[in-house]
Amino acid sequence: SEAQSYQRVALIGLGLIASSIYWAMKRAGMEAHVTGYARSAETRETAKRLGLCHEIVDSAEAAVKDADLVILAVPVGAMGPIAEAIAPHLKPGCTVSDVGSVKKEVIEAVRPHLPEGVHFVPTHPMAGTEHSGPDAGFASLYDNRWCLIVPDGAPEEATARVEAFWQALGAKTEQMEVEHHDLVCAVVSHVPHLIAYTMVGVADDLRRVSDQEVIKFSAAGFRDFTRIAASDPTMWRDVFMTNKQATLEILGRFTEELFALQRAIRTGDGQLLFDYFTRTREIRRGIL
């Protein structure tokens, strides 16, 4: 298949996303030689211990040497500097891809560094857990999950090969335009994470309810709702630093809805609450 046609793959950053890519490649029986790089020596040691990648190297420059496919799997804010560092070492005609949760700013940060003849095919696998780091990955992470492909002008052939690669890892793929991607992700992922973080913040701030009580009684909503607030702080800081416009737009809409419900509670408008919950329950039941 087309995905098998990459002979050498470089994974830059060895966290949840990259380690899951490696395990899924192995499961798919791909024969590509995979070289991995992570910034911290501790992560590289953990990766070696886990048997992650065929080879772990000490610099991003060394990792991309001779690679046919380079996947940037570092926090969004680190994509530009990494692209700048590896650019002179890329094999002519290779494909660079990234898995960042934000696309517009990543593309603007990465593309200017890439030499002519190197293809850039940005992607975003819509899969994750609240765990991070090299030991968080597993082969089935991408099964039946969407991987959004944002070619943004990349040649069709290079794009098709990246799509085939993700499909071999178990994902379904769909192409999307850059700004639309960032708005969709603001509503389905970014703002929900922000609200989960604030809910934990509210509980922590409330002196009349102890942390022990929050933990003890958290089954009733708090536990489900705030699971994602255990996610990596660097990753999520970078998401909000770079998807500013879309997340502010969705937060504005969220605040309007919240105020409408707050007013209904204050004025005792049970009908409004009932109608709202009925409509949103129908929508939520359509998911899964």
CB 127 within 8 A of CB 153: no
Strand partners, 34: 9
- Residue 17 in the binding site for ligand NAD (CB under 6 A): yes
- Residue 101 in the binding site for ligand NAD (CB under 6 A): yes
CB 225 within 8 A of CB 202: no
CB 94 within 8 A of CB 162: no
Q: Shortest Cβ distance from residue 211 to ligand NAD (Å)?
A: 26
Candidate ranges 11-19, 196-204, 259-267, 279-287; the one touching ligand NAD (CB under 6 A): 11-19
Candidate ranges 26-34, 93-101, 216-224, 265-273; the one touching ligand NAD (CB under 6 A): 93-101
- Calculate the CA dihedral of residues 132, 134, 137, 138 and round it to 10 degrees: -160
Using CA atoms, how far residue 213 sits from 201, 218, 227, in Å, is: 15, 8, 17
Give the binding-site size for ligand NAD (rule: CB under 6 A): 27
Candidate ranges 126-134, 147-155, 205-213, 259-267; the one touching ligand NAD (CB under 6 A): 126-134
What residue type is 103 in one-letter code? K
Among 97, 123, 132, 242, binds ligand NAD (CB under 6 A): 132
The one-character DSSP state at 115 is P
Q: Shortest Cβ distance from residue 101 to ligand NAD (Å)?
A: 3
- Residue 14 in the binding site for ligand NAD (CB under 6 A): yes
Q: Please state, as a whole number, how many other Cβ atoms lie within 10 Å of the Cβ of residue 177.
A: 12
Candidate ranges 1-9, 131-139, 173-181, 275-283; the one touching ligand NAD (CB under 6 A): 131-139
Residues 59-78 that bind ligand NAD (CB under 6 A): 73-76, 78
CB 33 within 8 A of CB 13: no
**Sheet containing strand 146-149, strands side by side:** 123-125, 146-149, 172-175
Q: Shortest Cβ distance from residue 94 to ligand NAD (Å)?
A: 19
Among 6, 13, 105, 123, binds ligand NAD (CB under 6 A): 13
Residues 215-254 that bind ligand NAD (CB under 6 A): 232, 235
CB 156 within 8 A of CB 184: no
Q: Which spans of this chain sit near ligand NAD (rule: CB under 6 A)?
A: 13-18, 38-40, 43, 73-76, 78, 82, 99-101, 124-125, 128, 132-133, 136, 232, 235
